[in-house]
Amino acid sequence: MPATLSSTKTRAALRSSARISLELLLVLLMTAVVLWALGQMWSVTWPVLVALLLTTLTWPPTRFLRRRGWPPALAASVVTVLFLIVAAGIVVLIAVPVASQSGELTAGVVDGIQQLRKWAAGPPLNIGDAQFAQGLDTAATRIQGSVGGIVNAAVTGVGTVLNGLVTTVLALFLMFFFLKDGPRFLPWLSRQLPGRLAVDIPAVAARGWDTLGAFVRSQAFVGLLDAVFIGLGLWIVGVPLVLPLAVLTFVAAFVPIVGALFAGFVAVLIALVSNGPTDALIVLIIIVVVQQLEGNVFQPMVQSHGLGLHAAVVLLAVTLGGSLAGIVGSLLAVPAAALIAVVWKYLREQLGEPGRAQGADEPEGGPAQGAGEPEGGPAQGTSGPGAGEPEGGPAQGTSGPGAGEPAGGPAPETSGPGAGEPEGGPAPA
């Protein structure tokens, strides 16, 4: 006959499910409140996040100088100045070669437009000069009609640029203070928190800092791979400005999606105006292949190894972050997932039950490992580790570690860890 459900067990299971569901809802509600608060303070939160990412890049040289006896303020100042010099050098390395070849690029653009007009004038389009001029007039009329929208877009763009400059300056100042006073933060935090939190939160913060450093290093390695492979492709095709384009590709790799699109667009445009449409198409194919390998193979593999996440988790995190918060979400998705994994691992370590050590102290008169015996003797026929024995002799077939012995003599063939001994001597080997 089929087994009937126990009403008591069913009610207990439903009560447990309801309690767990309510607790999960409370946790999700608290998480939503925290995220909402961070969104309301985004003008401060975003510079802090950028400063933390920059600090992970500049902390190793700062730590080197401090270990050599430099004062914290001096070490942080020197590293900050060097960082600004390197950033300015990257801009110069990109801008100067482009400016020196601007005349050739301008001539290439003019030639490209002329070739486009000649191609459009032939079959199958057969667009004459009159039609081309009419198209230009129509475009100019439409532009004049949408002046208000263009002005609004320009004002919005200027505001975005200004916000970016303010964020950059604030992030640089915060980076300096993080480099100068960062090692004192966790001890200060421990003194401010009560009880168990004084240990748990600094421990999680230290692990999160290590994870953030691993993310930045892995992102830099992925950007280096992009720069090397795309630079080699441009050099083989014969595109000018290979070094500035490779540097631009490396820097743009730190900005997901938009960075890769911008660097690829610039490379294809230069190939088009300098080498023609055929080489531009080849460069486009090279960039698409490298970007696909980077996004679906290199980045998940490298970041999963450095952050302790599976490659599929990294790929899904970037996709989810981009769909929820755009470019910023794509940038922060992987470190956020890694920090969640750090917190989860720490919680499991703290909430897990420690295993009972093998060979623990045994009660007098019975060597069972962690297993108690009923008054009057153990059950007959037990053969697992720590099984007891009947009065006057061992249970048949007991040979596991921790088996008991009869009164007056040892159990034969007992040699495992924790085996008992008779009065007056050990069991023979």
**Residuewise pLDDT in 10s, the chain (429 residues):** 566 778 888 888 999 999 999 999 999 999 899 988 988 888 888 889 889 888 988 999 999 999 999 999 999 999 999 999 998 888 888 778 777 777 776 777 677 677 767 777 777 766 766 776 777 777 777 766 666 666 776 677 677 778 888 888 999 999 999 999 888 888 888 888 888 888 888 888 888 888 888 888 888 888 888 889 998 998 998 888 888 888 888 888 776 666 777 888 888 888 888 787 888 899 999 998 988 887 778 777 777 776 777 778 877 887 888 788 777 787 788 888 888 888 888 888 888 766 544 444 444 444 444 444 444 444 444 444 444 444 444 444 444 444 444 444 444 444 444 444 444 444 443
Burial class of residue 278 in the structure, from the number of CB atoms within 10 Å of its CB (0-12 exposed, 13-18 middle, 19+ buried): exposed
Q: What is the pLDDT of residue 39?
A: 83
pLDDT of residue 118: 73
Can you list the alpha helix ranges (DSSP code H) found in 256-414?
Answer: 258-275, 277-293, 299-307, 311-351
The pLDDT value given to residue 157: 67
Q: What's the pLDDT score for residue 394? A: 43
C-beta atoms surrounding 187 within 10 Å? 10
Question: 241: closest CA among 283, 282, 277, 281?
Answer: 283
- Helix, strand, coil percent content, the chain, rounded in steps of 5: 75, 0, 25
d(C-alpha 175, C-alpha 80), whole Å: 8
- Is 211:338 a contact under the CB 8 Å cutoff? yes
Q: Residue 29 has what pLDDT?
A: 94
Q: Residue 79: its pLDDT value, please?
A: 94
Distance of CA 202 to the CA centre of its chain: 20
Encoding tokens for residue 34?
């925290």
pLDDT of the residue at 411: 44
How far is it, in rounded angstroms, from Cα 400 to Cα 398? 6
The CA-based dihedral angle spanning residues 374, 378, 383, 387, taken in that order and rounded to the nearest 10 degrees? 60
Residues whose CB is less than 8 angstroms from the CB of residue 230 and which lie 6 or more positions away in sequence, other chains included: 245, 246, 249, 263, 267, 286, 287, 290
- The answer to pTM > 0.75 is no
pLDDT given for residue 84 in this prediction: 93
167, 328 Cβ separation under 8 angstroms: no
Task: Please tell me the predicted confidence (pLDDT) of residue 91.
Answer: 83
Are 324 and 331 contacting, i.e. CB atoms less than 8 angstroms apart?
no
Q: What is residue 256's predicted lDDT score, i.e. its pLDDT?
A: 62
Reduced to 3 states (helix: H, G, I; strand: E, B; else coil), residue 158 is helix
339 CB-near residues (< 8 Å, 6+ apart)? 208, 211, 212
